Structure 1
Amino acid sequence: MAIEIKAPQFPESVADGSIATWHKQPGEPVSRDELLVDIETDKVVLEVVAPADGTIKEIIKGEGDTVLSQELIGQFEEGAADASGSDDAPAESAKDAEAATAESGADDDTPMSPAARKLADENQLSASDIVGTGKGGRITKEDVVKAAAEKPATDKPAASADNNVAHSMPGMMPQMESASSAGSAGIPATARSEKRVPMTRLRKRIAERLLDAKNSTAMLTTFNEVNMQPIMDLRKKYKDQFEKTHNGTRLGFMSFFVKAATEALRRHPEVNASIDGDDVVYHGFYDIGVAVSSNRGLVVPILRDTEQMSLAGIESTIRDFGERAQAGQLGIDEMQGGTFTISNGGVFGSLLSTPILNPPQTAILGMHKIQERPMAVNGEVKVLPMMYLALSYDHRLIDGKEAVQFLVAIKDMLEDPARILLEL
């Protein structure tokens, strides 16, 4: 019996999607609930699974095609796959796939889509060279692109001493290359390559939102610094007991920042507000987004009702977000909403930055690297672990006074963690 394969019902905030990867081809046997195709939207990757045991009869929308909600993308034939080999086309497809696998040297046991395998062959990569981030370790096109970018350039010809000099003198490079092409200079041309890959929908959406934030808000950033020694001493004293008590959950810095930010938002409701046309919407709840880096780009899952969450609950939820972001398993509902955002560039070594707003939110807190610096304390110079804090805010709603007071409130609570518990 033929069954239509349709795109999922997209949420109202998602207009369309694109076919990322077909994991099965026509004629291949498929088990019920086995992954058939990934559909990428500007927020998450949605998975379409097999409705029953059988085979894919026809693929209507190929990889890269744009699809709408509930649009027909393929035909599925219910029933056991024909293993007799009477269908020449599937047999040929299987032979071609086996040949491609043999040529690329990829491991037959490593799941890889045809598009990803083709790209891997073009870049002379085997499955063992690529880390798969798809479901069950499946290798996606994005994984191949990343592996190709990280591949050492060992296949480039060694440059001569004269050529190395030319590379260190950019102004002379065009003339020397021209002479080489004419055969008058005798200097071998250096291998130069370019690679053009389509921007993912998530990356395009991130670019659109960043430009929108800069063009539609009066963004301003204020800075302060916080002495992290009290938090570090607290972690050192209780980290083992905390981890044992809370079933392996580690005590990190983010939970302190989330709790401090929640209390500061309670004191300064305009920082927790948003602008909707000519109206200001004051939120009576605290949903804090935590920026998480994934292989597909930056995503911001939301911690809901942080005023009711414990430190252990915050830490375990953030860890879960990070793991599922890498696996592409975050749901759209987990990244919608939010009244405030925290971004931690310090994990990548950033010492200072100006985070960009996440509209319609009116403020975002930037954390940075902890670095020891000499500080004046009661007339004495001490070396302390310091962190710069940055608060970017929409000046249309938040005045400088409120922004500075908000940031100082966070600083005071972090430098004296008892304030967080006592709400002082």
Structure 2
Amino acid sequence: MDHSVKRRSVIGAVGGLAIASLAGCLGDGTDGAADDTDDASADDGNGDSDGGESEPEAVGSDGLVYAFAPDRISILDPADGDVVDEITDEFDDEAWADPQITHDYGLLFVVEQSLSQVHVIDTETRTHETAIDVGPGVNHIYHPVDDEIWVHADDDGAFYVIDVDALEVSEIVEAGLEGEGHGKLLYHEAMGDTGYATNVNDPGVPVIDLETYERTGFVEFGEGGSTHYKAYGPRNGLAYVEYRGGTTVVNTETDEIVDELEFTGGMFLSPEEDRLAIVDDEVYIVDVTSEDSDVLGSLAIDGDPSTVRFGPEGETAFVANAESGDVAVIDVATLEEIDRLEAGEFDGRNRMAVVGDEYFITPADADESVAVVDMAAQEAELIDVGVSVDTLQYVGDSGTGYTGRYR
């Protein structure tokens, strides 16, 4: 941990230089978000009559969807089925991944993998604020506290902490035991200042102090293997972590292993935080209100299921399928498939999906479209964006398990 402290002390001095260098590459201002915004206004011819520069107009993004393509960010209205705006900012062949919106929905942070950067979008003005250099192999992004964004850099096995106000890296937290490896962060407001990190190189989960930015312990699951997917049940205080083809269950009060499930996969919590969907070729539903983590049943889904999002009341679940070009609708109580909705073709391994109020939204990149499902009516339509999109973010309440403290 001494090495981690030294790295954190240095970043305060070099963080600004890294951002300045990056901004120069993009042709933006070099003094952070304010200068980037001013430059954008000047380029658009919005300066005032005496040659000064005005701020971009506040137009808002509530209820809209940001769809990320290699050369642009399209802004969609899911209610009207239209593209209402675009941000280009000289984007070219960007490799977007894993967006994260702040708790007040004012700023949207999104990973750009090819240059190990995080881009920042102001959702009020629909403008590109800046891009921030982070560690190599950047992948997943999290928002455990109001004023910080945590980004995992796989080549370092570390989290780069971005100050939301300063828009610069303020801390580096070494998480992986071997100093590298693909990793995620498990946290929930019920866990306080403690989080767990998963890592494909570690046979357990490092314990992370979110306040002191330190790895303070390690919960060992075995002598080998790796950890990856994760979830937390706030009603029973248990953490669920993928390990060796199964799911290890940990009591977060004692850091003790209390159970093991024989299946694993992507994990998605219901709005009432009482059910956990774990997705492999089947969708397993686990009761996360009791100490026993009862498995309520499972349902095989044809079409390579990728992502599950629960309906607003948790009575239905919607499954985005990567291969079959549709969305399966599940009755959660009976674990029966009750409908299939056409959602366009997807050209990839994992098909993401978000929920926003009454909508379930998933990309159909092979059709250069985004599929919008009205969850109450169980009806789907495609919004043509004219370009391949595989990453989305809704501006507003995206439900438990996606935006905010629960990812």
Larger strand percent:
2
Same fold (TM > 0.5)? no
Higher relative contact order (CA 8 A, sep 6+): 1
TM-score (norm 2): 0.23
